[in-house]
Amino acid sequence: MLMDLAVPRLRLDLPSGLHPHEDRTQQHTQAWVQEMGMIANSPKVREVCDSFLLGRLAARVCPHASVGRLYVLADWTSAYFVLDDVLDDTVEARDPEVATEIADQFIAPFLGTAPRTGRHRAGDVLAVPRIREGLADLWARTRPGMTAAWTNRLVHDMTDYLYSHVRQSEINSSETPFDEDAYCAHRLLTSAMYVSADLIEVATARPVPEHLIRNPDIATIREAASHVVAWVNDLYSAPEEIRLNDLCNYVVVLTSKLDVSLQEAADLVAQRVDVQVGRFLAAESRAEAVLYPHLQPDDRQALTEMVEGLKTWMTGNALWAEETARYTDRATRRPAPCSTSPHSSDDPGSNRGTGPAQNPRRPCPAPPRMPHDGQRVTGQCRSTPARAKPQAPRAHRVEPAGSRVPPPRIRHQAPPAATGPAHPASPPHPPHRRPESGQL
């Protein structure tokens, strides 16, 4: 059936901002992914990447970073989408064994080990080696100035992120959706938001001591922010993920488990986002009252800047989701890696490494440009039963505090009873094999 889904109204009563060097950042990160050979080098692909506005995403989520650190953060956001497109959208990665081999390849630069070569030779099919070398370049530019404890934390979180896609491939292969608790725990990992929370400390140049990261209120703050970002992305990406038969989306999970329509499920996801924002703010208030007074000034400053960074990440991500063409038609717009050689950038301030050795790859077509109407997202639904279309779907809006026109304040209210957990517990480590971080 034709699925016409309106993203519910979201009003995040949190700060927002936009870095003044947004345009330069967009040019930098687009040049970087092409220079490293992580995507095809063609005018059409450049047009598609430009429409994703990944530089704007970085400029929104880290509006106060220095230019050099903003470039690093922008390259991380670009890398996320390249990784997601390989791990989520390729036929090969739907095989759990291939997904494991891909994760083995991508984690190697962070562990400082040689990549493993599996029997499926996924790298030959998906141009994985070039992406791996791009990650190595990115990691080399991220670590300077950060502590050993922070480095180990990010490697741990990156490992969880990559290997969570093995579980995702198993779910999609089995065609059996998660239950709600399991999905929320899984999505904490696949969203890469724990990695992003770590990267906020790169943007501020102030690593947070590990004993503070483990504080219950700070852990709640990080978890709640991760849920907000992940679930907002699920709202915007639901039509395309449904069309691709991707069962790892909160709207799909609630539709299946609660026997509600897609629109009703989307409305419930929005309510759960609201609950998580309230949970974030409550934990912040407790930390300010109980924890902050006992901290040394440097630690208090590092923690305050991380929490403020999570706020701008939540609002910035939601605003960017309205602006980007990323979610219009992911299947046809995905700029997959292919055989063309990396292009060399003339950006003198980029601080990028040299491109990888050029290996012949099979050619792949550039995706066409698709229009984005800025109001509604549509797609073909093949995994849910036909239901009546809502009579008056609402246009989606995101209204953060601190924008040019101040939005009304939101009153956080819980979702209806018996519709699922307000804040699921943190997930255990993935059951899949994880390499040791021996050299770290």
78, containing H or E segment: helix 67-89
CA distance 162 to 79: 12
Domain 177-327 in this protein, CATH class: mainly alpha
- CA angle in degrees (0–180, nearest 5) for 275-281-287: 135
- By the 8 A CB rule, do 270 and 235 touch? yes
Which class for 166: exposed (0-12), middle (13-18), buried (19 or more C-beta within 10 A)?
buried
- By the 8 A CB rule, do 67 and 24 touch? yes
pLDDT of residue 329: 53
- Residuewise pLDDT in 10s, the chain (440 residues): 345 789 998 878 899 999 999 999 999 999 999 999 888 777 777 788 788 899 999 999 999 999 999 999 999 999 999 998 888 777 788 888 889 999 999 999 999 998 777 666 665 666 888 999 999 999 999 999 999 999 999 999 999 999 999 998 888 888 788 899 999 999 999 999 999 999 999 999 999 999 999 999 999 999 999 999 999 999 999 998 888 788 889 999 999 999 999 999 999 999 999 999 999 999 999 999 999 999 999 999 999 999 999 999 999 999 999 998 887 654 434 443 333 222 333 332 333 333 322 222 222 222 222 222 222 333 323 233 333 333 333 333 333 333 332 322 223 333 333 344 444 444 433 334 444 433 33
Question: Position 411: which residue type?
Answer: R
Q: Evaluate if pTM is beyond 0.85.
A: no
Q: What phi and psi, each to the nearest 5 degrees, are found at residue 271? A: -65, -40
Q: How far is CA 269 from CA 161, 182, 189, 252, 361, in A?
A: 22, 15, 18, 10, 41
- By the 8 A CB rule, do 7 and 235 touch? yes
pLDDT of residue 348: 29
Structure token digits, residue 109: 């630069």
CA distance 337 to 85: 10
Strand partners, 380: 2
pLDDT of residue 221: 99
pLDDT of residue 1: 38
Q: What phi and psi, each to the nearest 5 degrees, are found at residue 24? A: -60, -35
pLDDT of residue 93: 81
pLDDT of residue 281: 98
CB-hemisphere CA count at 13 Å for 119? Answer: 3
CA distance 115 to 105: 5
Give the CA dihedral 65, 71, 72, 74, nearest 10 degrees. 100
> First CA to last CA across the chain, in angstroms?
51
